[in-house]
Structure formats: structure tokens, C-alpha cells
Amino acid sequence: ENAAWSSNGTSVAGRSDGLGSALNRLYGPWGLYVDDNEVVYVADSKNHRIVKWEPGATAGQIVAGGKGSGNSSDQLNHPS
């Protein structure tokens, strides 16, 4: 399929009214991946986590990190 750019965007992950660490917020989103099922994965850099957003979801699910910056199995350091 071809993609078309539009000046009118739609939020599919996070909220547009500020930063935060709640699962309906992103803080420094950096990398983005959309799989074949239209699930969106976001590298939420400043929250040190990877968040998964199912189509129609109002909040994400942490799939990696989420316990601050570090090198433990439940930590990431500014993922991108």
C-alpha cells in the first residue's frame, strides 16, 4: 500500500496534552514500529520502556523496561 501524508493527524498512542509516565502517556517517544496486525510499539525513551498499543487501545502495555534506567532485566536506558 502507498502512504499519504495529511496535515490532520490522529493520536494512536499517548496523549497530546502533556508528558507523563502513566500508561496513556509518553515521555520522549523515539522509535516506532507497526506490525502486520497494526499494533504500535513505541520506544518511550525518557520513561525507559517499550510500550505496545493495540488498535483502539486507550492505554499501552509495557513489554520491556519500565523500572527506570539501568541494566537489570526489567530496566532499559533511553531505548530508541
- Strands 49-53 and 40-44, how do they pair? antiparallel
- C-alpha closest to that of 52 among 41, 66, 68: 41
pTM score above 0.85: no
Check if the beta carbon of residue 20 is closer than 8 Å to that of residue 32: no
User: Mean pLDDT per segment of 10 residues, for the chain of length 80 residues?
Assistant: 67 64 87 93 94 90 95 94
CA atoms within 13 A on the CB side of 60: 30
41 found inside a domain = yes
Residue 46 lies in domain: 23-80
If one counts the domains in the chain, the total is 1
2 occurs within a structural domain: no
Q: What pLDDT was estimated at residue 11?
A: 66
Q: What is the pLDDT of residue 25?
A: 86
CATH number of the domain where residue 37 is located = 2.40.10.500
> What pLDDT is recorded for position 17?
57
Residue 63 lies in a domain: yes
Q: What is the pLDDT of residues 11-23, one digit of tens each?
A: 666 665 567 788 8
In a domain, 10, yes or no: no
